[in-house]
Amino acid sequence: MLQALQRTALSGPALIRLLARLVDVDVPESRQSLSDRLSQWLGWTDAIALSSALTGAPPALPAGARAFGSAEEAECARVRASLVKTITGDSAFATTRRRGPHGAPHGASVDTPAAPADYALFRQRYQAMQQSMETGVGNLRGRLRAMLAAKTPAMGRLAVLDAVMERALGERERNLFATVPGLLAGHFERLRDAAQAAEAPPDNAAQAESGMAAGAESVAVAAAAQPSASGAWLDVFRKDMQSVLLAELDVRLQPVEGLLAALRTR
């Protein structure tokens, strides 16, 4: 009970809280300040670049740069919506009700009667989604930075600072996000093992006590119910993986939200 309360009380982005629940481990709250953690992540070359961005002369305003307006705001919303649609519309994460007439998804199949569900296929889809998010968010962030640099010298300094932070933290960010599919593998295995244990046939003593007629009826009922029961845990997993992907997208978009907030200022 104490561990459950600690996991519930964990603060931070939804991605961290969701993963802490799914991997079923006690994640201690970090006692380090943000500045302390950054000091461990940044090398001396990064520190020099940050110092130059903060104290150096602001960059000159580029000539003929595109200004930020409603069209650019709509483009940002479109990119976000497109990434969300890519995640929610992928057939690998479709539940049984949305899959084909025989339980197979429209497109690549991840669980057929002839081939049990293999997490490797889910891992591949998750990594493909991560690549799509990194590319889409990275391109959007670069465009917003260029617009920010065209507003005022102070905004130009902020754009330079964001570019330095992206270069300094990009590799660490990729490495951390790359661990998420591995964490979800354990969740997949626990759900599968629990479903297999629940569907295991009763022992011989229990069968003898139930009687031959009742036993035959029970076998028939279990056989009829088995397809939906065996797919229920996969539906749970698909929904959880989709939720993690959407939470990861929110984290990846945080720098974009900061640039948008700066661009909206007058």
Domain membership of residue 191 (yes or no) is yes
Please report the pLDDT score of residue 47 as a whole number.
82
| Residue 20: CB atoms within 10 Å | 18
Please report the pLDDT score of residue 116 as a whole number.
53
Residues pairing with 115 in the sheet: 112
Please report the pLDDT score of residue 156 as a whole number.
87
Domain membership of residue 79 (yes or no) is yes
Domain membership of residue 38 (yes or no) is no
| Exposure b/e, 88-120, CB count within 10 A at least 16 = b | eebbbbbebeebeeebebeeebbbeeeeebebe
Residue 14 backbone phi and psi in degrees, to 5: -60, -30
Which of 143, 144, 170 lies closest to 49, judged by CA?
170
- Secondary structure of residue 42 in the 3-state scheme: coil
Please report the pLDDT score of residue 109 as a whole number.
44
Which residue has tokens 């104290």? 55
Domain membership of residue 172 (yes or no) is yes
Domain membership of residue 10 (yes or no) is no
Q: How far apart are CA 72 and CA 126, in angstroms?
A: 29
Q: What is the pLDDT along the chain (266 residues), one digit of tens a residue?
A: 334 444 445 567 889 889 988 987 666 667 777 778 777 788 878 888 888 887 877 777 666 666 677 788 888 999 999 999 999 998 888 776 554 444 444 444 444 443 457 899 999 999 999 999 999 999 999 999 988 888 888 888 899 999 999 998 899 999 999 999 999 999 999 999 998 888 776 655 445 455 444 444 443 334 333 444 557 899 999 999 999 999 999 999 999 999 999 988 86
Residue 106 backbone phi and psi in degrees, to 5: -75, 105
Based on the structure, what is the number of domains in the chain? 1
Domain membership of residue 37 (yes or no) is no
CA 246 to the chain's CA centroid: 5
Task: Residue 243: give the domain boundaries.
Answer: 55-264
Domain membership of residue 29 (yes or no) is no
Please report the pLDDT score of residue 266 as a whole number.
64
Please report the pLDDT score of residue 250 as a whole number.
96
Domain membership of residue 71 (yes or no) is yes
| Residue 65: CB atoms within 10 Å | 13
What are 60's two structure tokens? 């000159």
Please report the pLDDT score of residue 87 as a whole number.
94
What is the helix, strand, coil percentage profile of the chain, to 5?
Answer: 75, 0, 25
